[in-house]
């Protein structure tokens, strides 16, 4: 135990970095567990669309959306997201919604906004379109 205390006293910056990393891991884990937005795999997305009539909402840039998208997905432009204008999705408020971006990172922020706007079942595609394409699933242009 005395070796740990000696290490901590001689390396305060390194020790602080380790503590910060541990705290971030704990906070991220707790946030993921209590969040109303759940990540889905490409297979879970397919099941949810087929069994529960989920709506896929693609938030990528217009050019990327036109280059290849999940079948029957809706495009939600970035301008509408920044203005919290989800009027095009109002009729799907009670259906499961799955938000898709390129890598699954920006989708979580949009999904949180949708959840706050009163959408009941909001999910994200874990890994985004990269995961969808990596699974060899179809896209349309």
Active site (catalytic) residues: 101
Nearest to 111 by CA among 126, 119, 122, 103: 122
What does the alpha-carbon distance between residue 105 and residue 112 come to, in Å, rounded to a whole number?
12
E strand spans, 11-120: 38-40, 55-58, 74-75, 96-100
Give residues with Cβ within 8 angstroms of 86, minimum separation 6.
76, 80, 113, 114, 117, 119
């Amino acid at each position: 135990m005395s070796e740990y205390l000696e290490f901590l006293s001689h390396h305060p910056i390194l020790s602080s970095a380790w503590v910060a990393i541990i705290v971030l891991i704990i906070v991220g884990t707790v946030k993921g567990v209590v969040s109303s937005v759940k990540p889905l795999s490409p297979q879970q997305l397919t099941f949810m669309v087929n069994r529960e009539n989920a709506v896929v909402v693609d938030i990528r840039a217009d050019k990327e959306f036109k280059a290849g998208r999940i079948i029957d997905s809706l495009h939600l432009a970035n301008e509408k997201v920044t203005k919290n204008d989800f009027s095009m999705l109002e009729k799907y408020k009670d259906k499961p919604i799955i938000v898709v971006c390129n890598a699954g990172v920006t989708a979580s922020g949009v999904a949180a906004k949708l959840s706050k706007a009163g959408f009941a079942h909001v999910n994200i595609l874990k890994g985004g379109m990269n995961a969808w394409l990596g699974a060899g699933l179809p896209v349309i242009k």
